[in-house]
Structure 1
Amino acid sequence: MLPGSVTLTEVAAAAGVGESTASRVLRNHGSFSQATRERVLAAAAQLGYVPNRIAGTLASAGSNLIGILIPSLTNIVFSDVLRGANAVIDAEGFQAVVGVTNYDPRREEALVASMLSWRPAAMMVAGLEHSERTRALLAASGSRVCELLDIDGPGLDLVVGFSNEGAGRAAARHLLARGYKRFGYLGRDFGRDTRAGKRYRGFVETLREAGLTLADEEIVPVSSSIEAGRVGTDRMLERTPGVEAIYYANDDMAIGGYFHCLANGLSVPSQLALFGHNGLDVGRFAPQVMSTIRTPRVGIGETGMRLVLAGASAQTVDLGFELVEGETA
């Protein structure tokens, strides 16, 4: 279990002021000096304090809330995770409050602070990488924390997902076994999509172990999409026409690469092999089944929520992934 919630009394003591003074500063209401304000805010930040929005109401008023933060609403991966979690929530009488971070650590931090002010029973967040303040807020909240979709690293409490680095390695091994030697990678900024960065690392390290390196890579400055995949594939092949196989950060981009091949008369996989990630339906029903890694997204949401509501001890649950050989690589 995580430590108990940090109280206003503790903040006031750390700042060397009375509780009423600390309250005025944190509510930004009433009179206090600038020096006092700075001391109180510094103490609150250091302790990971968030205000209690339900103070003065029934103690159980917020106990049925579950905060869920996802990076995107447009990516079906996160919709699937929510679908799994929501199936459990509905059956147990809890209420989900959902926030969208847009892969922005600062936005995640603000949303975590806002949600924790309602004293939720639990917080579910995507990934293991968070800002220092976000980690401090979650650790000091007293709420259960469940981190989803990744197991490559230490967690705060409950962790449910699969190895992204392992998925990258599996993709590389599959392509190497098919005899490809000149590889490209197409994805987005790893600073925002840290899980894609882990897959990239696993992929590149497996190539290196085989005595190979990437022939080219394209990191797009926009969100993952079919359009970004098509445009990025065009750019890469313009620069490096000898690329034999492209590993994409996800199926959306891989489908974009597939559309590029269809539009330009490139035979898949004989002229260009394509490998994605996630195992989305759009790849399964394409004219050629997409070669990809299928991830258990609904199961991750269901398992994470069941562990939270069961009061399970802190643990990491690896639900694994499935390599889909497909027809594009």
Structure 2
Amino acid sequence: MTVEFKHQGTVTLAEVAEAAGVGESTVSRVLRNHGSFSDKTRDRVMAAVERLGYVPNRIAGTLASTGSRLVAFVVPSLSNIVFPDVLRGASTILEENRYQAVFSVSDYDPEKEESLTAAMLAWRPAAVMVAGYEHTDGTVKRLRASGCRIVELLDLDGDALDMAVGFSNRAAGRESAAFLLKRGYRHIGYVGHDLNRDTRAGKRFSGFCEALAAGDATLADREILAGASSVENGRLGLERLLARTADLDAVYFSNDDMALGGYFHCLARGISIPSQLAIFGYNGLDIGRATPQPLSTIRTPRVETGKVAAQLVVNNAPSQVVDLGFELIEGATA
């Protein structure tokens, strides 16, 4: 038997006010927790809200007010913990200050980032947070014309549109190479994902190669896999790399996901780490510390990046660049 669903009309602010026996402006003050009202009035309003199932129209409130409470995020991916960590840090500060975060995912596609940014800007947010400095001309034009605050995250190798919070990816790549060279590794390979789409990984790779050259070393071989980074691609990439260049003594991976895939490949093939092959990653993920041999890597301040970026927005801070740095974790794989 088919049961027809009948949509119930939206409960209005006026209906809540009538049920609570107060004016609409009083209901509005209670829901925004702003202005004067007694505890008794608050209890009556909230009881009416609960009884009627009222849901405030935050967008309407935003458009009617002098300042938006929305903060929009356009992030490349949610497939690993990096950007969820940033969002988690930002949400902590935004929620404390009664801002609402909304986000969308570009899949490392610059054209998709442009369309998503345009869609987010249509909501007139207080701020837009995007990853990195590399955007299409259309994205840059829209952001600059929007009148909202702009925060670029997790990269400082370039010129900020307004505010930026993060660290230098080139410096992280250089420090990774310097660490491996200091440990005596000279026949070094690289396994990574699409460097044209993930420009921050591309910058780390460039910095890594710069440091190798400064240390009178060169990259012996590389394996770049199409698509996003993953544990499986790391395993496959190292397998292909060693099939061509079996005498490598160390491999630098574009991030910890890929490095863990390489680590699992070594375990499966009986390759001793680090005596036969050293492995070095990037990001400092928790899982890398939980492996039998903790991963040698760069730890990035992802949660702190989100917190600092959100605080800048809440404070309506002047345009600035905040360098949070990074930490090299020696681990046990290199």
TM-score band by shorter chain is 0.7 to 0.9
- Whether the 8 Å contact between 2:62 and 2:68 is mirrored in structure 1 is no
Equivalent residue, structure 1, for 2:242: 237
CA–CA separation in structure 2 for the residues paired with 1:73 and 1:292: 21
Q: After TM superposition, what 4+ stretches of structure 1 lie above 6 angstroms from structure 2? A: 54-57
- Whether the 8 Å contact between 1:160 and 1:303 is mirrored in structure 2 is yes
SS at match of 1:159: strand
Of residues 189, 192, 216, the one that matches 1:211 is: 216
Equivalent residue, structure 2, for 1:68: 73
Classify 1:117/1:318 alpha carbon distance in 2 versus 1 (closer, same or farther; 3 Å).
same
- Whether the 8 Å contact between 1:222 and 1:228 is mirrored in structure 2 is no
Equivalent residue, structure 1, for 2:168: 163
Task: In structure 2, list runs of 5 or more residues that go unmatched.
Answer: 1-58
- Whether the 8 Å contact between 2:125 and 2:148 is mirrored in structure 1 is yes
Deviates more, 1:78-87 or 1:208-217: 208-217
Shift of 1:242: 1.0
- Whether the 8 Å contact between 2:156 and 2:166 is mirrored in structure 1 is yes
Give the structure-2-normalised TM-score: 0.81
CA–CA separation in structure 1 for the residues paired with 2:159 and 2:182: 32
Does residue 192 of structure 1 match 2:197?
yes
Equivalent residue, structure 2, for 1:26: none
- Whether the 8 Å contact between 1:129 and 1:194 is mirrored in structure 2 is yes
CA–CA separation in structure 1 for the residues paired with 2:131 and 2:232: 24
CA–CA separation in structure 1 for the residues paired with 2:195 and 2:233: 15
Q: Where does 1:11-160 land on structure 2 (aligned, <5 Å)?
A: 58-60=63-65, 63-160=68-165
SS at match of 1:192: coil
CA–CA separation in structure 1 for the residues paired with 2:290 and 2:160: 36
Question: One-letter code of the match for 1:327?
Answer: A
CA–CA separation in structure 2 for the residues paired with 1:234 and 1:57: 53
Equivalent residue, structure 2, for 1:182: 187
SS at match of 1:75: coil
Give the structure-1-normalised TM-score: 0.82
Shift of 1:62: 7.2
Shift of 1:222: 2.0
Classify 1:160/1:56 alpha carbon distance in 2 versus 1 (closer, same or farther; 3 Å).
closer
CA–CA separation in structure 2 for the residues paired with 1:153 and 1:181: 30
Classify 1:102/1:62 alpha carbon distance in 2 versus 1 (closer, same or farther; 3 Å).
farther
Equivalent residue, structure 2, for 1:5: none
Of residues 270, 286, 292, the one that matches 1:265 is: 270
- Whether the 8 Å contact between 2:62 and 2:69 is mirrored in structure 1 is no
When Rg is computed on C-alpha atoms for both structures, the one with the higher figure is: 2
Question: One-letter code of the match for 1:304?
Answer: A
- Whether the 8 Å contact between 1:62 and 1:119 is mirrored in structure 2 is no
CA–CA separation in structure 1 for the residues paired with 2:306 and 2:114: 21
SS at match of 1:246: strand
Shift of 1:309: 1.1
SS at match of 1:197: helix
User: Any idea what the Cα deviations from partners look like across 1:196-248, whole Å, max 9, x if unmatched?
Assistant: 01100110011011111111001100210000000000000000001110000
Identity among equivalent positions (%) equals 59
CA–CA separation in structure 2 for the residues paired with 1:156 and 1:179: 41
Q: How many matched pairs?
A: 276
Question: One-letter code of the match for 1:187?
Answer: G
CA–CA separation in structure 2 for the residues paired with 1:58 and 1:138: 19
Equivalent residue, structure 2, for 1:247: 252
Equivalent residue, structure 1, for 2:14: none
Shift of 1:60: 2.0
Shift of 1:89: 1.0
- Whether the 8 Å contact between 1:182 and 1:214 is mirrored in structure 2 is yes
- Whether the 8 Å contact between 1:165 and 1:200 is mirrored in structure 2 is yes
SS at match of 2:150: strand
Say what the alpha-carbon RMSD is for the aligned residues: 1.4
Shift of 1:191: 1.3
Question: One-letter code of the match for 1:321?
Answer: F
